[in-house]
Chains A and B, each alone.
Chain A
Amino acid sequence: MDILLSQLFAGLSLGSVLLLAALGLALTFGQMGVINMAHGEFMMAGAYTAFVVQGVIGSAGISLLVALPLGFVVGGLLGLLLEATLIHRMYHRPLDTLLVTWGVALVLQQVARDVFGAPNVDVTAPEWLSGAVTIGDVTLPKTRLFILTVAIVCVATLSIALKATPLGRRIRAVVQNRDLAETSGVSSRGTDRLTFFIGSGLAGIAGVALTLLGSIGPTLGTSYIVDAFLVVVAGGIGQIKGTVIAATALGLMQAFFEYSTTASVAKVLVFVVIVAFLQVRPQGLVTVRTRSLV
């Protein structure tokens, strides 16, 4: 029973990591149709932001809290730069964006290698996040509780921003019908930029959070980008709700499959489930209904 609860938490926690990695993609890939292979490298930039901030501030306790918003800004600015220089020339050309952003990803990895060196660097977890909370026989590492919280806050903020603010309304309008939105006076150009800024910024936040769990090196992003795309595709393109459900489901599946088999087999099983699911529901869990033809 205890191990079931431990695994339940492990699954939810893995889900929250996947969600953080995928949330920004749900915006840029889902809502704008841009396949951004450099999304993982924006996470990497966020992680290195945490490293630099820790070097400047010194105290691990404060630096994490400073790094979270700063990681958002760094990721966002990188995204903005990418959008303004390359991606805005290639909307409607998904294959080209795929190749171009992959190239950008490789360039960013090499830049990180040149600036910070090839070996991994370390970000010390703050004192208040070390150790675990024990309830009965179930151990909940504090870092994972923290990441779960960060994920929930990000999703809540994003949903409120999309639903209740004028900015969110513009984004949704452009997603649902770009031409109609433009005719109604919404600047789709400005909206695109903003969406990309927010999506990439979320990758930055994910990167900062991941410093608590894994290695911080030039290839950090590549470890997560595949899973992040899976979450977005399975969740249904263009929907935050779908992304949340898919991330949670994938996290739980991985945790329980891995517990009853092995890590390698669990990965295979998760892929099989996703492929089978997409056969039945190619559009993903949740989709936007529009009235447009074709």
Chain B
Amino acid sequence: MRPRTHAGTRSLGALSIAALAAGALTACGAQVDTAGGEPSEATGAGCVDTSGDTVKIGFLNSLSGTMAISEQTVHDSLQLAASEINADGGVLGKELEIVTEDGQSEPTVFAEKATKLITSDCVAAVFGGWTSASRKAMLPVFESQDSLLFYPVQYEGLESSPNIFYTGATTNQQIVPGLDYLAEQGVESLFLVGSDYVFPRTANKIINAYAEAHGIEVLGEEYAPLGHTDFSTIVNKVRSADADAVFNTLNGDSNVAFFKEYSNAGLGPDDMPVLSVSIAEEEIGGIGVENVEGQLTAWNYYQTVDTPENAAFVEAFQAEYGADRVTSDPMEAAYDSLYLWKGMVEKAESFDVADVQEAADGVSFDAPEGTVTVNGDNHHIAKTALIGRIGDDGLIYTEWSSDGPIEPDPFLEGYDWAEGLS
């Protein structure tokens, strides 16, 4: 007997709503910045064992979950750097022993696994993290355990910890040069499109302050929830605002939907160029080259960068992981981070955290992107900003570059217009 009635219908409806709620919750779970669990009091980095022929380091990337797409690539280039260093005699004569942990795209898991790497594996340093949420969850762990994290992704700035080295760009090495470039091109009005979370909102605050000080008009500011799939309304708004350029801080899959809509609506780089800060070589394939060809990006590294170090890096990476693989900015920053740590340790002649922190200032590495140098005060690194244009082969070609490496300034203290932002 299976009659269908209002009562039955109603309970089914209620059930499906419950199911939706459950689905929505899990979908959001990955993005929510749940504060990192308080790490237990332990001796921490004190247990690092350097008496043998090897020294342990930890790689902590999301190898599962929504961020795995991006973080797997970073993990690959970390592995490459480690095997190169080991083939070359290791660090201070000791072979690197890698302990890999999966952050599972969950900030809380990052905090737990970081604690585990430091207190039970006794690693000398940890490399990894991608989302700002994961970094912010790990920060208290590394500070209370007094260990070291090397974080390889460009981010929103306004942070500096003695226990973290930031090897990606901060805002004055990516967003500000991007704006400088647009202003140089005669752009007088901007439309801001971003995902609805911390990085785009902070970035757009900076962009608004810059625009106000430089006489650029911001004609609109739109945020789409992460995972938003329908951009017809936002593209309509962009079109009717008719700005000189669009500044895009969308993250993840939303870029695909945005650029498909943008080009389907007949807009292109000639009408209204889009400058993006979250699209690298890795993402272009999924968006479709035909939808982003000719658009602009701001990074510190492209696969096409013409240095001997980069030629060697790309060749080694493709030999290891396949000729169809591309290299991108976060991958290169992760690759650099391991070499920078090696440089610091060798300068300090010690694996001890305090010694490494002491020795950090001025350590440099001839990276694929060019020479990068650690700033001992804020633990960021000086790097050259590159504005690129996406070519028809899906690679990005440098269009403009800053005059040499830019000193990192995470709190934008050297910019009058940025006063009050931090």
Contact = CB atoms under 8 A, between A and B. Distances in A.
Interface of A: 3, 6-7, 10, 13-14, 17, 29, 33, 35, 37, 91-92, 94-95, 98, 118-125, 130-132, 134, 139, 141-144, 175-179, 212-217, 219, 222-226, 229-230, 232-233, 237-238, 254-255, 258-259, 262-264, 267, 278, 282-284, 287-288, 290, 292-294
A105 to B, nearest CB: 9
B69 to A, nearest CB: 5
Interface in B234-272: 234, 236-237, 239-240, 253, 256-257, 260-261, 263-266
B229 to A, nearest CB: 5
26 contacts: A6-B240, A10-B233, A13-B232, A33-B8, A35-B15, A119-B282, A120-B69, A120-B283, A120-B285, A120-B286, A121-B286, A122-B287, A122-B289, A212-B260, A212-B264, A216-B256, A216-B286, A219-B66, A233-B13, A233-B16, A254-B230, A254-B233, A263-B222, A264-B223, A292-B3, A294-B7
A132 B16 contact: no
A35 B27 contact: no
Contacts of A290: 3-5
Given A213-B257, A263-B222, A255 B232 contact: yes
B185 interface: no
Given A130-B264, A267-B225, A217 B13 contact: no
A226 B22 CA distance: 10
B16 A229 contact: yes
Nearest to A293: B3
Contacts of B230: 14, 17, 213, 254
A226 to B, nearest CB: 5
Given A223-B229, A233-B17, A287-B9, A142 B4 contact: no
B286 A217 contact: yes
Interface string B273-302: 000000000110111111000000000000
Interface centre among B1, B20, B230, B253 (most CB of A within 10 A): B230
Given A10-B233, A125-B264, A132-B266, 6 more contacts: A122-B287, A141-B265, A214-B253, A255-B233, A263-B233, A264-B196
B358 to A, nearest CB: 40
Interface of B is mostly: helix
Contacts of A282: 6, 9-10, 13
A259 B236 contact: yes
A215 B230 CA distance: 11
A124 B256 contact: no
Contacts of B290: 124-125
B228 interface: yes
B61 to A, nearest CB: 13
Contacts of A13: 232
A29 B265 CA distance: 35
Interface string B204-246: 0000000000000000001111011110111011011000000
Nearest to B6: A283
Interface string B1-39: 111111111101101110110011001000000000000
B233 A7 contact: yes
A136 B367 CA distance: 53
A29 to B, nearest CB: 7
Contact of A259 (B237, B283, B289): B237
A214 B257 contact: yes
Given A179-B2, A214-B256, A215-B253, A262 B223 contact: yes
B72 A238 contact: no
3 tightest Cβ-Cβ pairs between the two chains A and B: A120-B286, A215-B256, A292-B3
B68 interface: yes
A63 to B, nearest CB: 14
A120 B256 contact: yes
Interface centre among A7, A123, A223, A288 (most CB of B within 10 A): A223
Nearest to B72: A118
Given A223-B229, A233-B16, A263 B285 contact: no
A119 B285 contact: yes
Nearest to B286: A120
Contacts of A254: 230, 233
Contacts of A230: 20
Contact of B4 (A6, A94, A238, A264): A238
Contacts of A259: 233, 236-237
A10 B236 contact: yes
